[in-house]
Amino acid sequence: MFSVLISPRLRQYVVILFVNLSVLTTGMSMGWPSPMIVKLRNATETPLYRPITEEEGSWIVSVGFFCCVFMNLPLGMLLDCIGRKYCLILICVPKIIVSIFFIFATDVWMLILGRALIGVGDCFLVSVVPVYASEIATKDIRGILGTFQQLFSSLGIVVSLTVGPYTSYSTFSIVFAAIILITSMPLPFLPDSPYFLYSKGKTNKAMEVLTLIRGTDQAAKEEIAVYATSMNNEKVDKMKLFKNRLVLKSLGISIVFCAGSQLVGFNAVSFYLQTILISTKTNVMPEIASVIMGLIQLFASCCATLATKRFNRKYILISSLTGMMIGMVGLGVFFKIKENTQEVSGFMNYLPLISLILVIYCYSAGRDYFSRQGLAYVDMFFESTD
């Protein structure tokens, strides 16, 4: 399929592009609650027999993340059992089924179950894609290709925020199912990870894939030699590694960083974006404002792609965290004042808009680039053991 592409580097770009199409639907799933929760609470727009309550809305939004806490570890073991490619294909099956399930949902439990399954699938997907991408891409373009995931995720959110407010629940569910089906179609035709193939003793197949994406037999043989060295390193006693201070430091940084990426509160802002915008009394329609927010996130993701090789990633992270902190403080101040006074006027009505722009831009331009790098833990861990 890819042999007609002359440049090996172009082949890598195409493979990573196709695999990240699946992340587009993950972005749509992340953006789904913003317009859909509003519709599900509206008696005239909900497809259910009654509008949902606030508690039910919270369960619909959060159940996927709750299930991921228990499912990530066992699902992660599949990476080395069936391989990266077949994990990607496997993830698509429940996503397609659930998206069709959403079309015919008539009760709250159906939405909660569907969000749980699709949430687990998306969570596993964003763990598999960086691993696959890093094993396909060469080191010099690994960073730039790594930003594709955030770019497509942001694009998916834009689709949800753009289409969702202006269509019915049923129409959007059909669009969602169609896009999941279309983006899943290229996956069976992608090459498997050469590193996984080599680890399973399929050296000849690994050579074929490497020759395809590296361009020459010599480059493929050199990478096979690196794999062999890596396999030998993996035979060391894992318990001894945890006595190494450098390993423990890397592991600690990774755990704190991954936990921090979930505790910053961005998901709550993203899922309830349209609800937050409705609470403001400005001349900007919430539906239009949510589309603008989605476009800002997409723009910020493009900025992250351009900034990856130009600036120190540490400074990008510090800048994004600072901007997010200021934005979150602004949101907190607005809702605290509204809670105490019940009446907000003047500039204060625009404070959440400004704060949302700051939070969304900074998260997508910096913080989310790092948090989406699911391979960060693996890189930090094994780099410290070389």
d(CA 32, CA 160): 6
What pLDDT digit, counting tens, does each position of 306-329 carry? 666 676 667 777 788 888 888 888
- Under DSSP, is residue 206 helix (H, G, I), strand (E, B) or coil? helix
pLDDT tens per residue across span 158-203:
899 889 888 999 999 999 999 999 999 999 999 998 988 888 888 8
Residue 142's nearest CA partner among 373, 380, 383 is 373
Confidence (pLDDT) at 304: 67
pLDDT at 10 over 80: yes
Higher-confidence residue: 112 or 365? 112
Pick 164 or 375 by higher pLDDT. 164
pLDDT for the residue numbered 233: 59
Rounded CA gap, 107 and 86, in Å? Answer: 33
What is the pTM for the complete model shown? 0.78
Backbone angles phi, psi at 114, to 5 degrees: -65, -45
pLDDT in tens, 63-101: 988 888 787 777 778 888 888 899 999 999 989 999 998
Q: Is the pLDDT of residue 234 over 70?
A: no
Q: CA angle 41-123-270, nearest 5°?
A: 40
- In terms of pLDDT, which residue wins out, 288 or 325? 325
